[in-house]
Structure 1
Amino acid sequence: MNFRTYFHVALIFFVFVSIATVLCRTTFQVSEYNKCPPQDSKFLTLVARSVEQCVEECMRRKSCEVVGYNRLLQLCKLHARTLSPAFVENNYILIRRGDIRGPECNCPEWSVCNAENGTCVIKECLPLPPLHNGTVYGNTNHFGATKLVDCTTGFFEISNANLKPIKCSLSGNWSFITHCQECPVPGEVFKFPLSTSHEGFQIYTEKKTQQSASDMCTAQSANLIRIKSWWQIQYIRSISTTCIDTTDTEKIKFWTDGKEDNDGNWTYSNGENVPLDEIFWNKNGAVGTCLRLMYKLHGIQCDSKMHFICERD
């Protein structure tokens, strides 16, 4: 055997041993055939993975409790702990954590062990807390993953009135946490979740001029709502688009407190300035001197009639 032949044989042997070593780091046995873990526990989907690679990915994550693997599509699904039962699904195998043997990950839950240097890295967001009175669509938690929220009829989504999807950011945090709140009954006092300095608000669907609406609020020891924070606009917008028939645009227009004086300054009746940041205001120019809210603030003619919102300080 000449040197070149010996070298080739040694190289092939080295590659074979290296591959065998990698594959033998983790061993497993199939827990159930033709069974798939429940969808509500899935947090990561990987494509074009062998079953060995899929099991390795599970072992790198302390949060992984069950592997669901589609042998036909080479589709790897990692699942967290759940009380929901597995269901019958052809071409799937189910492998529980207890049936896997290999190096354990010492990283905190919802972080991933780096196989090369043993460090812990964040690659997924934590599962969202359970959503009551609504449904979350989307069951992956990797960076860039998105979820949509659909509240049950009679409830509105209070964290994202623009109806944008929830997104998993590179920091390992969701763009926002949401929940569904019951729609307020017109005339009934309700509170916004982030409000700490107000007793409550009341939406009135009868139409009045701004002055008549203000007089009605005053008679109830209240005042027309004063928009001071962006979250107020978000909640009112969410209520308008979810709890009110939006086919009639008049139903989502509300009088607020606030007028423009002769010097062009917008102030509330208590002397405070109306916020003028772009996020509060409609880009189109004002057509009147009284303040109205329809998605954003806008100046219109004071003798217009529309719904209004009273605020109890």
Structure 2
Amino acid sequence: MMKENKIYLFVALIFISVQVIVLCRKTFQVSKLNTCPPEDSKFLTLLDISVDKCVEECTRRKSCVVVGYKRLLRLCELHTSTASKAVPDNHCFMINKEDMYEPKPKCNCGEWSVCDATASTGHCPIEECEPQSTISHGKYLGNKNSVGSKKAMLSDSKSNTKSVTCLKNGQWSGNASYAPYCGSVQEIPNGIITLDKSGQVVSTASVNCYVGYEPKTSSVVCTSAGSWTKTSCTLKCPSNDGWLNLTDTFNVQIHQTEMNQTEAAEFCKNTVGGTLVIIDEIWKMRNITSVLKHCPGIPQRKYWTDGKNIYSQEWTFSNAINMPMGQEYWTAGRPDYMENGDLCVRLVDGGWNDRPCGAKSAYICENKCQAC
């Protein structure tokens, strides 16, 4: 009886030992807790599977280098290599391929194929396409890469959508790119750019400069690099004969010979068929003072323009129109009426100041038509 009990005990110990060995067989080692691989390296998501099965699926694929497993969801994510860093996640842990102890499949499969070790010789069917994370001038929507799955694409302009399909040969169908999109046109000082077309490649936009400025180019173009060509609006300066064409009906000529205002007005009338320049709008003041300040070859002097005050009456132009009296036209503190007698106006330091009409200064003539 004792001998039989010893035999039963020995068999039981063997059975328990076998069970312990089976239960304790280790298939992987957790590489990093509370961390998941970066999203941009994920190429396959498997739902409701154990971590052991997840590890097995990774070992069947040469392209898989790390597993991210979310234990509460039983969610398995297979990842390829990437330069991006892992991300913190309290519900996830990572298992690098070198920490997987599953028997290596007896296949010699290439990238993006899967080892089927159940076959007698082991073969390598294609079950996924290589992930496409970037697209020229657009982006992918979705992250499925299995054969037969479709991935939507959206252009940078957000006006054009299409899709590609993962084919059985492991290639994506369709043209995974868009024409460049340059977006909104740039803002430029002293002008405005108006979009002619959609903003796609080879689209153009017209350049229009404010009065007194001229464009470096008449238009800009959306290039294949996805950016607009550059342009600017530059200040118009007088030609060699001193004429400056600001509009079709407003032309001025700058003279350096010093005269009193009456002599200067006579010269403008008899020589160029016009008057001293009448600055009755603020854009004229800003343009002319900018020319005097910034154009090369023009001395920084005081220049007679049309306008005077006779016997302390209203300030008027020679055409009997009242002159503007806002401070945007006058230099600080002017007019100050500090001089006796008739007062006229000169341009100096960006605006008018009042000065006796008999003083000598350079002057600016105006003609409605330069060719007249």
- TM-score of the superposition, structure 2-length normalised? 0.41
Instruction: Return the index of the structure with the highest Cα Rg.
Output: 2
Larger helix share, 1 or 2: 1
Which structure carries more relative contact order (alpha carbon 8 Å, separation 6+)?
1
Q: TM-score scaled by structure 1?
A: 0.48
